[in-house]
Amino acid sequence: MSVQSSPNIRWGIIGPGRIAHRFADAFSAVEDGELYAVASRNENRLHEFADQFSINKRYSDYQAILADKNVDAIYIATPHRFHFDLAKQALESGKAVLCEKPLTVTSAQSQALFELANKNQVFLMEALWSRFLPAWQQIKQWLAEGAIGDVVSMHSTFGFKAERNNDDRLFNLDLAGGALLDTGVYNIAMSDFVMGTAPDTIVSDVLVGETGVDERSNVTLSFGDVVSEFTCSFLEPLPNEFKIVGSKGSIVAESNFWEANSVQLFNQDGTEQWFSFPYLSNGFEYQVLEVNRCLREGKLSSDNVSPEFTIRNMAVMDAILAQAGVKYPFLEEFCV
């Protein structure tokens, strides 16, 4: 797929919910992309969203937006359960795909999508926007420069108290609810950002609620001599920081770490430095700019949020959920 001759990358959005609003807002800082079309089966939500962001092309049928030849890239922001099928259909339609995290519900599904993307020569990326943020890019540079010596451990939390509603997507097993796929994915993704490899061992203590989803997980990932300990939860508000401890100091991505725009660097001599990294817009723009860059260069994937990264992180979540006995009933219907 080549869009190099087009002045703007024309984006279509499937699922104009809360997170899609943040995605659309980010286009205020995207000079080479435009919000061209949106699709939703909810007519009221469709038109309210389109009106808010001045989108003329409006579809109440997902197949219609995928058939629109003017759409270069599709952003998928539906509940987790539907990611695989919609991404598959988009790739089969020749559309570049940026799909909200988690890309799918299992590593097998993610593997299948990347194989399809490669077969059809179409771009695919999971929307793990945190890995592109300036604050995290600075953290990566500090680690490469040895600013805190050798990494020893990581400690992070992502927790909030969710309103108890068993029909809400967070608690709904049929929609692939649960804290791990919704929030813990960030703890795992940024641990991988630091280490660049899969953990050797995974130890978890998971609380499964009455609807069958994981509501709180305490997890230890071991990378040889380095450990990453994290808690993700729907049951209580947590500090939501990410601390990287090294042999000569430490780094703290302040709350909320997944959208950090400030970082603390603690030196071996006890001194502390604080750094601010303001967004161009709201933080989502960096992943959009990455997709646009990749499309113009004819790339099928991003080096930062790569197929290998997504698949190995999905495998970590597979293992944690399997240890807890969490099973999504719709996966019995899954076939590649």
What was the pLDDT predicted at 193? 98
What was the pLDDT predicted at 333? 57
pLDDT in tens, 40-81: 999 999 999 999 999 999 999 999 999 999 999 999 999 999
> Which residue ranges form the domains of the chain, and what is each CATH number?
9-130+284-303 (3.40.50.720), 134-276 (3.30.360.10)
What was the pLDDT predicted at 3? 56
Amino acid identity of residue 219, one-letter, is V
Q: Decide if 250 contacts 243 (C-beta within 8 A).
A: yes
**Mean pLDDT in consecutive groups of 10 residues from the start of the chain, 336 residues:** 68 97 98 97 97 97 97 97 98 98 98 98 98 98 97 98 92 96 98 98 98 98 98 98 98 97 92 95 98 98 98 98 96 61
Q: Tokens in use for 249?
A: 């100091």
What was the pLDDT predicted at 235? 97
Which of 70, 137, 134, 177 is CA-nearest to residue 282? 134
Amino acid identity of residue 294, one-letter, is C
Query: Distance between terminal CA atoms of the chain?
Result: 23
What was the pLDDT predicted at 48? 98
Token match 């570049």: residue?
96
Q: Tokens in use for 181?
A: 């796929």
Q: Decide if 281 contacts 29 (C-beta within 8 A).
A: yes
What was the pLDDT predicted at 4? 46
Q: Decide if 241 contacts 187 (C-beta within 8 A).
A: no
What was the pLDDT predicted at 105? 97
What was the pLDDT predicted at 167? 86
Phi, psi of 262 (to 5 degrees): -145, 145
Amino acid identity of residue 161, one-letter, is K
Local structure of residue 180 (DSSP, 8 states): I
**Residue 250 to residue 247: CA distance in whole angstroms:** 8
**Residue 298 to residue 123: CA distance in whole angstroms:** 8
Distances (CA, A) of 284 to 130, 227, 289, 335: 8, 29, 9, 32
What was the pLDDT predicted at 2? 47
Alpha helices per DSSP H over the chain:
18-25, 43-52, 62-67, 83-92, 107-120, 134-145, 179, 185-195, 285-296, 307-324
CB atoms within 10 A of CB 334: 15
pLDDT in tens, 204-225: 999 999 999 999 999 999 999 9
**Residue 29 to residue 308: CA distance in whole angstroms:** 29
Residues 6 or more apart whose CB falls under 8 angstroms from that of 99 comprise 75, 76, 83, 86, 87, 124, 125, 126, 127
Amino acid identity of residue 293, one-letter, is R
What was the pLDDT predicted at 268? 87
What was the pLDDT predicted at 336? 46
